[in-house]
Chain A
């Protein structure tokens, strides 16, 4: 038994930590967020050179051959700097779906370009009515000779404005909520009939509404068997939830340490406010919240490893990742709100970094299902079988 990172993982971790500390201070980040594209292409090229973009991909595509622990290591450190470059969207989600896809030709052509830094990708799944239900899909994929025609609207597509490639969920059969009949397609953002309307989200990251008007897709652009999108999504979801939770943990850790440090310097009533027991106990509670979140993440990592090594089936892992996302949502909210409260007035300002960390946590909270959604899934597995 051990909870240590391997030598390689420690090297990646140190490399991301150093980047955040030395090159991604809060003012630099603000400059990037306020730029036209909202991301730094220079940094993205650097991520490619440093090998970060290759982490989860198989060696046959030029990848590092890493696992979910490696992803978590990178995501946690990126979270500490609230890095806005679309690592989660491109590498973890888009890249994760591609890695799990069965279309070998497609993988061989796209994955190397992700690793080189030339492909920014995004998973276009959410629709105006779908909220957290992946299988609520009204975008249609009508079979035509040699392919499909896509029609529909995807909304709040992460990184949608800068992505040059989308994985799109679209329905070729079944009714609106049917888990069967949904297919995943790789679609170029400049393909005829694709309309991208980009906008900024509250966490400084970009998103877009993407409309598909009679978009022709060759059936060589199907990720896996037609109609079986949900199988692929279910397979990749633990990795997505773990990656986002690791980012959240990095943010929670940072918020707690910023708050503790601030309380030691802020003087009121002639003494540092850290000397007040009522505040001490609140900071102890947020410390414990962070430790419990970390433990749940580690549980997810250990169970993922045991599934990937063929020692256990995925049932315990599925339950754990629901619990992980719900825990991170609950404690992320607590930690964010306490960070603002303990900073007082200054915590309310846009100038201070605190609110920006909190807003990223809020976006993570709702991504791929909020806390209540995942707790209900957890309940179904635990108490209804």
Chain B
């Protein structure tokens, strides 16, 4: 019963910490924040290339494909240090989502063709799963891919596609035949975004920004060599990676850093001559979150310890996703509460600096966009279904 790391692990932690401290300077941080006047795509690509040069771009990959060969403890330490330093995660669609499918289920040609370019951040990937009629019920998807000799002809619409406007490639779940079960007859297809017949339509979200898109496919010809694994077996491939996706969603280190920021802000914001951090009601709201986060930190360590001991992330990763996103939303909510009415001003009309509350617009944006956290990656209600079935046997 202890959470001690070995001397080697502590040395590794110090190495990671030193690297981040050196490379993630104020300029990089400003560019990666996506604030006005910065080019987010170049910023993230440059940062990822830096990580690649260090050999740290893909800790989750097997070493033979370019992974770090770290122990699970080292991976955990790396992610924790990244979160504590406030560094955004790599764009997950290539490195964390499609790459594991390619190296697990793809053929040698596909591995050689796609994996190096993902490592080097030469290709930007996006994810084509959700459709207007298939959200939580993903198996209801209807985008069709009809087999026609050397090609599949793809027709349909994908939606909520993050960063499709930057993407070179999209990985899609498409329907190749009408199986007995809806999950059968779905295939996993890699599609070049430059293919004729693809249209990307922006969707502006409630934070006023554009990261989501609708992607339309009209008679798009996709070479059959872009099919992963067997036709009609795509559901299995996609599902195998969902639990991995969820374990990354507790984001304890990120929330700890945000909570520290919240406390500092609460000490600076004044109401009735007193800092908000001394307001007893606000204190209760902060400690509700802080205590829950202290517990979640150990829940994450418990899940991690069982994985390090050779177990696989199981349905308990759903718990991490639910609690992690509830906590990050709760922190956003209190930040917005500190921004008060000042948080309502649009930066295009009146800057937060002019208002005297320089964090206000950002607090609103994070609150608004943060609502998505309990929707994406399998909504929190779907995660509850997973726990009900797989853990409680209901």
Residue ranges of A at the interface with B (Cβ–Cβ < 8 Å) = 1-6, 69, 260, 263-264, 274-275, 277, 280-281, 283-285, 287-288, 291-293, 295-296, 298-299, 301-302, 305-306, 320, 323, 326-327, 375, 378-379, 382-384
Contacts and interface: CB of A to CB of B under 8 A. Distances in A.
Given A3-B305, A323-B287, 4 more contacts: A284-B388, A292-B323, A327-B292, A375-B284
A264 B392 CA distance: 10
Interface in B54-105: 73
A305 B295 contact: no
Contacts of A288: 319, 322-323, 387
A302 B283 contact: no
A323 B294 contact: yes
B110 interface: no
B278 A383 contact: yes
A3 B302 CA distance: 7
Contact of A292 (B290, B292, B301, B387): B292
Contact of A283 (B296, B301, B392): B392
B291 A323 contact: yes
Contacts of A285: 384
Contacts of B354: none
Nearest to B387: A284
A264 B394 contact: yes
A317 to B, nearest CB: 12
A263 B292 CA distance: 28
A2 B287 contact: no
A320 B294 contact: yes
- Specify which of B2, B263, B280, B381 lies most central, judged by the most chain A CB atoms within 10 Å of its CB: B2
3 cross-chain pairs, A with B, having the tightest CB-CB distances, nearest first? A295-B298, A280-B388, A292-B295
B1 A383 contact: no
A260 B394 contact: yes
Nearest to B277: A383
Interface of B: 1-5, 73, 263, 266, 277-278, 280, 283-284, 286-287, 290-292, 294-299, 301-302, 304-305, 308-309, 316, 319, 322-323, 381, 384-385, 387-388, 391-394
Given A3-B1, A291-B299, A295-B296, A379 B291 contact: no
Contact of A296 (B263, B278, B291, B388): B291
A378 B298 contact: no
Given A1-B3, A69-B1, A383-B286, A327 B295 contact: yes
Contact of A1 (B73, B319, B322): B73
B287 A378 contact: yes
A295 to B, nearest CB: 4
Determine which residue in A3, A5, A326 has the highest number of CB atoms from chain B within 10 A of its CB, and name it: A3
B291 A375 contact: yes
Nearest to B276: A383
B291 A327 contact: yes
23 contacts: A2-B2, A3-B305, A69-B1, A263-B394, A281-B381, A284-B384, A284-B388, A287-B387, A288-B323, A293-B295, A295-B297, A296-B294, A298-B298, A299-B294, A302-B2, A320-B294, A323-B295, A375-B287, A375-B291, A378-B291, A379-B286, A379-B287, A383-B286
A25 to B, nearest CB: 25
A274 B323 CA distance: 23
A292 B277 contact: no
B1 A287 contact: no
Nearest to B309: A2
Given A264-B394, A284-B388, A375-B287, A301 B1 contact: yes
B251 to A, nearest CB: 16
A1 B301 contact: yes
Contacts of B1: 2-6, 69, 298, 301-302, 305
Nearest to A319: B294
B275 to A, nearest CB: 9
Contact of A295 (B2, B73, B299): B299
Contacts of A274: 394
